[in-house]
Structures are given as structure tokens and as C-alpha cells.
Structure 1
């Protein structure tokens, strides 16, 4: 027959085992839960780190592109500025040479050629030819002979001085200034602007 003390001991043992089992279960559940939480937190931190790295890398790449783009633009601006300086010097040099060319014997050939070209494009009965004050004074007789040589037979032509800004050549207008043929040196320079620009592009 089981004594009361033995029953108490047995009961205590059963209770202790139950408490131990439940405690172990709770501990194991807690550990598993903590492992899940820790793993989730670890993944979250890893993802945040990757996003931060991507953002930092993207920011650095954008900054790099901005720096490169600015450097390219600065170089282009400097190159354009240099080309303009060279172009201005070249045009000034051409103008200086022109002021000397108008006193050379070859200039009369140039003038005759441009007068002939002007009349070939002009189709009014009354015309006004503009020439430089220099050419009017020095080459008036030659200009008159070129006009008689190349104008249409029924055309009336009046020779007038242009303003001092004109370099050479001639401009032919009708009396009402509704028709104009520009055969001046300025127009020759303008027509060759593309070639001058190409020369600069190839060499500067």
C-alpha cells in the first residue's frame, strides 16, 4: 500500500516533470521565435545596407557624370571662344590685306569680274552702282568703261560713292532700291564664311 509521503513525492515528481517540460518547450519556442526575429532583422539590415550602397553608388555615378559633363561643356566653350578669337583675327587680317589689295594692279581684274557678275544678275532699266570712295577717285574711268562693256544697251547707270565701311567691289541697285545685287568684298567674305569656319574646325 502506497503511503501518503510516497504519493506526495510522486505527485511532486510529476508536477516537476510537467513544469520542466513546459519550461523547456517555452524556452525552445522562445529560442525559435528569437531566431526568426533575429534572421528577419538580419535580412532587413542587409537589405537596408544594399539599398544604401546602391543609393551611394548611384549618387557617386551621378556626381561623376555631372563632373564629366561640366568638363566637356567647359572644354567646348573654351574651344568655341578660341575659334571665335582666331576667326576674328583672321577676318581682321583679311580686311587689312583687302585695304592693301585695292591698290594692287590685280584689283582691277577683281573689280571688272564683279561688275560683270553684277550686271549678269541685274534686270532693271535704271541702275545705281555703289563703289568705295577710294575706287571712285582712283578707278573712275576704268569703272565707267566696265559699265559700258557689261551693262545692257538700254540700261542707264549712275555711279555713286558708298559709305566708308565698304571694302571694295560694287553693289548694284535699282532707283527704288527694290532690287539689289551685292558683289562687294564683304559679300565675298560672307560667301567664304563656311570655308573659313571649316579651316578653323580642322586646325583649332
Structure 2
């Protein structure tokens, strides 16, 4: 296990589900992060898919001490640097490129890069990355495909994301090479827009019980 993998695992601290959230209005960032943390999911990934994303990361990093905020949908070195400066404690990318690997190698912020194919996994391993995001999980073959990777890639572990919800998360968490899963079902857009923090806290509490077997 690499030092950065160990650091990333310490940040996630055994959390079975990493909320993958999209924030359209920065005012929702702090109450959303607090609701998820109260429900037992303090580590969250705020995706850079909206104009409010970086400001949301800044707010959560500054105001929600109990949260471990990360940035997702990082596509290049510039975004990596912006997210790290905003206070992200971990970075998640949907794929793996030399530019993103280089940005991560020069930073103390650990990277969770996305992969699908054996070739991408081997490229990640060559770069010293042994904890990877399997994305998009369901569309790329699901739990059965990921299970088939356990034997040839014994030292590699995954956080599958994409198409995962309360109905199938256990299928992934039961695999020996899966550490956690990522999903947006714990913070649905309509509940965020409605400010239903109690409802989101309840969803997070249920998700936090999905421990690995």
C-alpha cells in the first residue's frame, strides 16, 4: 500500500459509502455537509459540475469541522490545483491521464483516479496508485466484472461509482477488492433543493450501516 493510499484510507476511515454530490447553490453546501456527517458519512465528494462547486468546497472546508471534503470530476491539472487550494482533502477523477497523475505526484492531496480496463489499472499501478475508482461501475460490467479483477490485480482496491444505489451497494461491498462505494442516492437533487436536511441525514444513516462483510 502506498503512503498516499494510506492517507486516503485514513480520511475515509472505514466509511462504506462516499456521497457524490452536485451543488447548484452554494448556500446548500454547509447544511448538506452537516446533514451527511450527522448521518455517519463525513467524507463527501463535491463534483466540479457546477459553478458553485469550488465555493461550496471552500465553505465546507472552513465551516464544517466534522466533514472531510473532497473534489470530484477533476479533469486536468488546473482543476486539481484549484480544488486543492479550495480546501479539498482528496481528489477524485473520472479517468486517468498523465497530466492528472503529474499534478497528484506534486501534491500532498491524495488522488482517487477512475479506471475501467486492465490496461488503465496497470498504468495506475505503475504510477504507484493502488486504490482506484471503478467508473462507471454498472455500465462497465458491474460487480461481476469487478470481482473478476480481484485475482489478476490482487494488490489493487476499488471504490466503484456510477449506477450504484441502496439496492445494489451490498453487491459491491461484498467483494474482496472493494473498500467503499460512491453514490448520489444519499443526497437526491430534489431533497437538496427542498432543504430536506433531516431526510438526507436519514438516508445517510441508512447508508452508513452498509458495512463490508
The question of a shared fold, defined as TM-score above 0.5 by the shorter chain, is answered with no
Considering fraction of residues, name the structure with more helix: 1
Question: Structure 2 length normalisation: TM-score?
Answer: 0.24
Query: Which of the two has higher C-alpha Rg?
Result: 1
Considering fraction of residues, name the structure with more strand: 2
